[in-house]
Amino acid sequence: MKAPALLGNARLPRWLLPAGWPERDGVPVLARIALEAGRVQSVRPASGPDEPDPEAWDLAGTLVLPGFVDAHTHLDKAFTLPRMKKVQPGLLGAIDAMLADRVHWSPADVHERAARGLQWAWECGTTHVRTHVDWWEPDTVPLAWPVMAELAQEWAGRVRLEQVSLIKLPLFEDAAQALRLARQVKATGPHALLGGFVHSTNWSENALRNLLVAAQACDLDVDLHVDEELNASAAGLQTTARILREIGFEGRVVCGHVCALAAQPEAEALATLDAVARAPITIVSLPATNLLLQDAVTGRTPRLRGLTLVKEARERGIPLLFASDNVQDPFCRLGSFDPVEALGTAALVAQLPDPFDDWSQALCRGDWLQRAPATAAPTLAGAKADLVLFTQADRHGWPSRSATRVVLREGRVTHGDAAPFLPR
């Protein structure tokens, strides 16, 4: 199929439109997106019926988003559930099941499962995936680590893959060892980040400080699992914000989960968020696994749902993304490496207003993972024409009926049926 030169009558989300974009009855007017050489050349308000143009598609109001970032996944663990026996409920039970599964891991096994995950991500319209990789030993690089580096190369140009070392905090207790770990991560390449598992069961402020200092010394960005629990005294997030200020950290730190904020007294949680807003921290919320793993007791209906304070974070200007987390492993039996599913879950559990026009940016703002997130309003013009067209959804119900999509990569259809848009 020929790449279109123009996408007429596209419905873009409000957050992606330039200031002063015209509205009709309080709703942004449709857009005319001109494409050239795989990039978006311009975005203008559609001003009326276009001249018939053999290279133009008429989207007739179809919802359009830029390609997605899936900011937090575990490709190394994906699709391991079918070969497991009984898994105890909750986060710590899932960790035990995962440890027992390690006997099955080989480079070929990890490669096959992770590549399947990337294929699914590619098909749903994702352009950027960040995966954590379990890292258990201080002196041995885990076998999945070089496999991810290989996959990052194999998928370059289609899906940008970043990899994070998921190292339990006690391995950073010794400052020299923390630095050795950071150097190993740094040697992997610019797509690698230093990470850690920060939880009240392994809490050590000294180890967290060593982790952040080592990252700073190696000029690495950081991505942590933080306070993935409902223990109100979990202090990972507030301590991270404080240490970053004390050491003048210059990179970006992603804090994933931060469920404990939902269990803390409100004034304390909001004070922590105020400190986070002043730090180079991005929050990534993982609603599916929070629902499945928090307050999990066999035979008892969960009461506390574990989602962090997403509205209060956004209100303070803290960059916040939703992501998939675990897919078909002991942590989460569901999942499809489609971040739109994460937003669908969040829309319900957090009662999000306006998922399409506002909160969809929590799936698309890859710049929020970067060192210096853009302060200017995001724009499509000039970007790669990586676009997702939701052919059966409308803005009121989105992301319901969002499974059927047309995906464009650099202006060309890679997935879905674009026939209805073609000029007749």
User: Which positions lie near Zn ion, rule CB under 5 A?
Assistant: 325
What is the distance between the alpha carbons of residues 102 and 251, in angstroms, rounded to a whole number?
A: 33
Give the nearest distance from C-beta 325 to Zn ion in angstroms: 5
Identity of the residue, 325 or 341, whose beta carbon is nearer to Zn ion in the bound complex: 325
**CB–CB of 146/114 below 8 Å?**
no
Give the nearest distance from C-beta 53 to Zn ion in angstroms: 46
What is the distance between the alpha carbons of residues 14 and 397, in angstroms, rounded to a whole number?
A: 16
Identity of the residue, 63 or 253, whose beta carbon is nearer to Zn ion in the bound complex: 253
State the DSSP H helix or E strand holding residue 162, giving kind and residue range, or none if neither.
strand 160-168
Give the nearest distance from C-beta 116 to Zn ion in angstroms: 18
**186-192 long-range contacts, CB within 8 A, separation 24+:** 186/218, 186/219, 186/220, 188/145, 188/149, 188/163, 189/149, 189/152, 191/149, 191/152, 191/160, 191/161, 191/162, 191/163, 192/149, 192/162, 192/163, 192/164, 192/165, 192/220
Which residue's CB atom is positioned nearest to Zn ion? 325
**CB–CB of 40/31 below 8 Å?**
no
Say which amino acid occupies 9: N
Helix, strand and coil content of the chain, in percent to the nearest 5, comes to: 35, 25, 40
Identity of the residue, 58 or 101, whose beta carbon is nearer to Zn ion in the bound complex: 101
Give the nearest distance from C-beta 191 to Zn ion in angstroms: 18
What is the distance between the alpha carbons of residues 322 and 288, in angstroms, rounded to a whole number?
A: 10
- Picking from 133, 4, 159, 185, the residue whose alpha carbon sits closest to that of residue 70 is 159
Identity of the residue, 65 or 255, whose beta carbon is nearer to Zn ion in the bound complex: 255
Which residues are paired to 196 by β-bridges? 167, 224
Angle, vertex CA 348, rays to CA 344 and CA 354, nearest 5: 75
Sheet containing strand 192-198, strands side by side? 68-73, 126-135, 160-168, 192-198, 222-226, 253-257, 281-285, 320-322
What is the distance between the alpha carbons of residues 153 and 198, in angstroms, rounded to a whole number?
A: 30
Give the nearest distance from C-beta 229 to Zn ion in angstroms: 13
Of 162, 228, 229, 341, which one is the catalytic site residue?
Answer: 228
Residues whose CB is less than 8 angstroms from the CB of residue 305 and which lie 6 or more positions away in sequence, other chains included: 262, 290, 291, 294, 295, 349
Q: Is residue 134 classed as helix, strand or coil in its secondary structure? A: strand
268 is catalytic: no
Identity of the residue, 145 or 398, whose beta carbon is nearer to Zn ion in the bound complex: 145
Side-chain half-sphere of 89: how many Cα atoms within 13 Å? 13
Give the nearest distance from C-beta 109 to Zn ion in angstroms: 20
Give the nearest distance from C-beta 323 to Zn ion in angstroms: 9
Give the end-to-end CA distance of the chain in Å, rounded to a whole number: 14
Q: Is residue 249 classed as helix, strand or coil in its secondary structure? A: coil
Give the nearest distance from C-beta 72 to Zn ion in angstroms: 6
Say which amino acid occupies 198: V
Q: Which positions are annotated as active-site residues?
A: 228
